[in-house]
């Protein structure tokens, strides 16, 4: 057997100057792609090097103005072109046949919570359902653009879901985006033990969570996920710690998940994005994660697990 190994998204590169000085972020993307491939990750990202997960999209969405933070100043509309498609295509070109590439979209609730809303806008506040659905329409178009570019796996990031937002509204918004994706993945970091059963009701293929510093695995059972035909993105590398866990430590985490959820029901990845770590630590964490996943797969093949 072989585990699918992936990343959650962001990677700790820095803006570098090109010789042509056309796109100052191109070399940062090249750096992120190279590190992920050299680490052996199967499903990589572009590193989300152009900014934080909110500004990355808000800078191109009509209705936003970037001040000290993104602020909604007018009606939100989809842009004429995909926001992350060029970086996705560049990553795909750089990866060649060495790795697959996932698309990544920041979810509507997280976009809203990370934004300000001006008095001149047509929205009452950041939790106005009209704003949430307008943002969902924008990101549904982004999903279509990424799909046309070749993305099969597209991750929708909604860390806001663990903070006590309206999950029924959140489900509707996510499904507006997910219906345009072949393999929709929902990433919700933090402790999701209190909302996991609600998350199961969302029509996605993968639910991705962090497991190194939470009680999430305590509340998830194989019998819960299999009726929904959902896989678990199993965050087994601590992205809050700027130190490298050993292969043995990560192996133990994966073994625990295999015993409880079944090897066929999990993908392997870090808890969250790696942006806040040093580049050296981030790469080594990924290397150890991949080695650990291979070791556990070998244990299973040899009947040791």
Q: Is residue 147 part of a domain?
A: yes
The H or E element containing residue 209 is: strand 206-210
Split into its structural domains, the chain has a count of 1
Using alpha carbons, select from 189, 195, 194 the residue that is nearest to residue 208.
Answer: 189
Q: Is residue 3 part of a domain?
A: no
Q: Is residue 15 part of a domain?
A: no
Q: Is residue 17 part of a domain?
A: no
Give me the pLDDT at residue 284, please: 98
Q: What is the dihedral of CA 57, 185, 190, 262, to 10 degrees?
A: -160
Give me the pLDDT at residue 283, please: 98
The encoded tokens of residue 80 equal: 């004429």
Give me the pLDDT at residue 305, please: 87
Give me the pLDDT at residue 280, please: 96
Q: Is residue 267 part of a domain?
A: yes
Q: What CATH number is given to the structural domain containing 261?
A: 3.20.20.210
Q: Is residue 13 part of a domain?
A: no
Give me the pLDDT at residue 20, please: 58
Q: For the chain, 305 residues long, give each residue's pLDDT as a single digit of tens.
A: 899 999 999 999 865 655 555 788 999 999 999 999 999 999 999 999 998 999 999 999 999 999 889 999 999 999 999 999 999 999 999 999 999 999 999 999 999 999 999 999 999 999 999 999 999 999 999 999 999 999 999 999 999 999 989 999 999 999 999 999 999 999 999 999 999 999 999 999 999 999 999 999 999 999 999 999 999 999 999 999 999 999 999 999 999 999 999 999 999 999 999 999 999 999 999 999 999 999 999 999 999 98
The conformation of residue 100, written as its DSSP 8-state character, comes to E
Give me the pLDDT at residue 276, please: 93
Burial (CB < 10 A; 0-12, 13-18, 19+), residue 149, is middle
Give me the pLDDT at residue 16, please: 60
Q: Is residue 9 part of a domain?
A: no
Give me the pLDDT at residue 74, please: 97
Q: Are 148 and 213 in contact (CB under 8 A)?
A: no
The H or E element containing residue 64 is: strand 64-66
Q: Which residues form the domain of 65?
A: 26-301
pTM (two decimals): 0.96
Q: Is residue 2 part of a domain?
A: no
Q: Are 61 and 74 in contact (CB under 8 A)?
A: no
């Amino acid at each position: 057997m072989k585990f699918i190994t992936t990343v959650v998204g962001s990677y700790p590169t820095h803006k570098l100057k090109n010789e042509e000085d056309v796109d100052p972020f191109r070399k940062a993307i090249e750096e992120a792609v190279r590190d992920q491939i050299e680490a052996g990750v199967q499903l990589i990202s572009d590193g989300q090097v152009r900014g934080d997960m909110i500004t990355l999209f808000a800078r191109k969405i009509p209705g936003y103005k970037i001040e000290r933070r993104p602020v909604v100043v007018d009606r939100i509309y989809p842009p004429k072109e995909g926001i992350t498609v060029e970086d996705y295509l560049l990553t795909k070109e750089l990866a060649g046949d060495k790795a697959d590439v996932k698309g990544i979209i920041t979810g509507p609730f997280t976009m809203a919570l990370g934004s300000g809303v001006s008095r001149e806008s047509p929205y009452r506040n950041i939790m106005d359902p009209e704003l949430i659905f307008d943002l969902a329409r924008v990101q549904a178009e982004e999903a279509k653009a990424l799909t046309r570019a070749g993305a099969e796996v597209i991750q929708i990031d909604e860390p806001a879901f663990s903070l006590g937002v309206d999950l029924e509204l959140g489900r509707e918004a996510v499904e507006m985006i997910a219906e345009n994706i072949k393999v929709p993945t929902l990433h919700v970091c933090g402790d999701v033990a209190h909302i996991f059963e609600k998350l199961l009701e969302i029509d996605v293929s993968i639910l991705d969570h962090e497991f190194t510093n939470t009680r999430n695995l305590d509340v998830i059972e194989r019998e819960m996920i299999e009726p929904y035909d959902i896989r678990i993105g199993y965050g087994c590398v601590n992205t809050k710690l700027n130190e490298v866990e050993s292969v043995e430590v990560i192996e133990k985490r994966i073994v625990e998940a295999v015993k409880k959820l079944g090897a066929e029901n999990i993908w392997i990845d870090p808890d969250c994005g790696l942006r806040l770590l040093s580049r050296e630590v981030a790469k080594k964490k990924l290397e150890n994660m991949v080695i650990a996943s291979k070791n556990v797969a070998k244990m299973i093949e040899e009947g040791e697990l």
